[in-house]
Amino acid sequence: MVGYDPKPDGRNNTKFQVAVAGSVSGLVTRALISPFDVIKIRFQLQHERLSRSDPNAKYHGILQASRQILQEEGPTAFWKGHIPAQILSIGYGAVQVYNTLCHAVGTMYRSEGPQVFYKGLAPTLIAIFPYAGLQFSCYSSLKHLYKWAIPAEGKKNENLQNLLCGSGAGVISKTLTYPLDLFKKRLQVGGFEHARAAFGQVRRYKGLMDCAKQVLQKEGALGFFKGLSPSLLKAALSTGFMFFWYEFFCNVFHCMNRTASQR
């Protein structure tokens, strides 16, 4: 993965193998954590409080939202927006996906112009650098802490270390940058308010600052963290699985290289 080099750990993987390990780990991880992403976005776009006490709230908890989505839309709803991307990424069914994507792109361009493809860009760019930096910094720090806190006999299972430290790094970095992710989602659905009218209140935002101002005024400070719980589950599992599978595949390639060199 970008920013992480396996060679200091004594592995002799090539750059190509490192790239493959990163790509495959991302593919597997995305498939596993997609349901949490769907629930998180539903929470982010709901203007009503995430509480049973609000009669207008469609969703108020992870388990309740999971049951409702399953009942109303079926199990495939948890992978909406995910399966076509995964199919496209491995080159299977590319023609069908291409036609669907072209139709969506054409409709969006005709209705709102080229700027529609860049809605939510400002919070995305602002969040990229601190999130990536925090993620790798926390991962490195947590690995050092793990090695200091765990007795020598407990350090043999490196996969567990990578999973725990990766999960912790994901939780910390996601929490600190979460409001920007919420702003991005709210801005990205601008122009499609009529499509989500059945989910509750509908609001329009003029930009990043207006979005932040309206959320604070109408939903309170806690509004900045709507969907944080499924997001943290997603971040913990996503980062943990990412590093776990990345290290796993790097180790597989390392063993293959060592075996080949001994022939």
Q: How far apart are CA 111 and CA 195, in angstroms?
A: 14
Q: For the chain, what's the residue count?
A: 263
| pLDDT bucket at 66, cuts 50 / 70 / 90 | very high
Mean pLDDT (whole number) for 192-217: 78
Q: How far apart are CA 5 and CA 249, in angstroms?
A: 13
Reported as a single tens digit per residue, the pLDDT across 88-141 is 444 333 333 455 556 656 665 666 666 655 555 666 666 667 777 888 888 889
Provide the residue ranges of all domains of the chain, joining segments of one domain with +.
118-206
Q: How far apart are CA 26 and CA 239, in angstroms?
A: 10
pLDDT(227) > 80: yes
Q: Which pLDDT score is estimated for 97?
A: 41
pLDDT(182) > 80: yes
pLDDT(221) > 60: yes
- The secondary structure of the chain in percent helix, strand, coil, rounded to multiples of 5, reads 75, 0, 25
pTM of the shown model: 0.58
Average pLDDT of the residues of the chain: 77
User: Residue 195 burial (CB < 10 Å; 0-12/13-18/19+)?
Assistant: exposed
| Ranges 79-83, 87-91, 208-212: which has the least confidence | 87-91
Given the structure tokens 């006490």, which residue do they identify?
A: 53
Per the rule left: phi > 0, alpha: psi between -120 and 50, beta: everything else, 57 is: beta
Q: How far apart are CA 43 and CA 85, in angstroms?
A: 22
